[in-house]
Amino acid sequence: MFLAKVVGRVWATIKDPKLEGQRMLIIQPVTPELQPTGKQLIVLDSVGAGAGELVYCCKGKESSFPFLPVEVTTDTSIVGIIDELHVRRPPKEPAC
């Protein structure tokens, strides 16, 4: 599972019939400090996320679980919208 920011949306008129009615979004994975990391991905949205929101994503077989009982073809999906993120930073070492 990982953090990401929603950066766009995909419209597809021709797709696998199991994807009918599913929202596809473009996300940018980010570090806990919100710095971009890795390549952008196209994912399915199970929670109604919107542009610019910070989200929680999962990969692999588990990414299709939010859509059950329909068997959806996906490798990555958004499973949560993050309201707040608190990151504990290590103390700075004194300069010598």
Q: Express each pLDDT in 65-80 by its tens digit.
A: 888 887 888 899 999 9
Cα 25–38–75 angle (5° rounding)?
Answer: 50
Looking at residue 67, what is its pLDDT?
83
The number of folded domains in the chain is 1
**Does the residue 5 lie in any domain?**
yes
**Does the residue 62 lie in any domain?**
no
**Does the residue 58 lie in any domain?**
no
pLDDT at 93 over 80: no
**Does the residue 61 lie in any domain?**
no
- 86, 93, 94 from 42: Cα distances, Å: 26, 40, 43
- Could you tell me where the beta strands, DSSP code E, fall in the chain? 2-10, 23-29, 41-45, 54-59, 76-81
**Does the residue 83 lie in any domain?**
no
Q: What range defines the domain where residue 16 resides?
A: 1-21+30-51
Q: Each residue of 25-62: pLDDT tens digit?
A: 999 999 999 999 999 999 999 999 999 999 999 998 88
**pTM for this prediction:** 0.84
Q: Which residue has tokens 């196209």?
A: 42
**Does the residue 36 lie in any domain?**
yes
